[in-house]
Chain A
Amino acid sequence: DAGITQSPRHKVTETGTPVTLRCHQTENHRYMYWYRQDPGHGLRLIHYSYGVKDTDKGEVSDGYSVSRSKTEDFLLTLESATSSQTSVYFCAITVGDLNTEAFFGQGTRLTVV
């Protein structure tokens, strides 16, 4: 699992509340990613990071922000959760000379009611 830990693993929250998901890695990999997975859509990239304080948007970044103040932690924040953000969220890192291999966390199931 390349030392990736996601927390929490499950969360139920109310519409309009802020939510932060944490991805922690233990091996100092440069690249980290947040994806969401919904039925019929596969995995879609939300944001990614290529170093401390270096982040960029993915294909579905609206309503999400990220922060990476330390190499080992990549935080995903929903500033004001909506029901459309109910999903399974996966964190990933890439490894290797060309970052060719990705390792994913176990996922966080978020339900917004």
Chain B
Amino acid sequence: DAKTTQPNSMESNEEEPVHLPCNHSTISGTDYIHWYRQLPSQGPEYVIHGLTSNVNNRMASLAIAEDRKSSTLILHRATLRDAAVYYCILRESNTGNQFYFGTGTSLTVIP
């Protein structure tokens, strides 16, 4: 499975936008880019996913580079509740369906 590379940690001020980067230079044409986050003492939760085009939902936006070798998760206004570990995951669209998590980016939100 193709791997992803994320910074170990990032900080953001409350109510400011946050851009969480992910590199996936070995991505294949059938890999979807998924983002999950894990709040303290909870299981991971789905944030967003995409294939080629940028995606928006109520939680975040996903910006995908034209060559698909990198992507950025955008939180438009960070809140204290956004403090979590964010995982960028590549996953094939067909069956098998495993998710392989890396160590993610630990986001600290400063009041």
Contact = CB atoms under 8 A, between A and B. Distances in A.
B43 A105 contact: yes
Interface string B78-106: 00000000010001011101111111100
Interface in A82-113: 90, 92, 94, 98-107
A45 to B, nearest CB: 6
Contacts, number: 57
B36 to A, nearest CB: 7
Contact of A104 (B41, B43, B91, B98): B43
A12 interface: no
A96 B9 CA distance: 31
A41 B103 contact: yes
Contacts of B97: 31, 48, 50, 94, 99
B46 A101 contact: yes
Contact of B36 (A33, A102, A105, A106): A102
Interface of B: 32, 34, 36, 41-46, 49, 87, 91, 93-95, 97-104
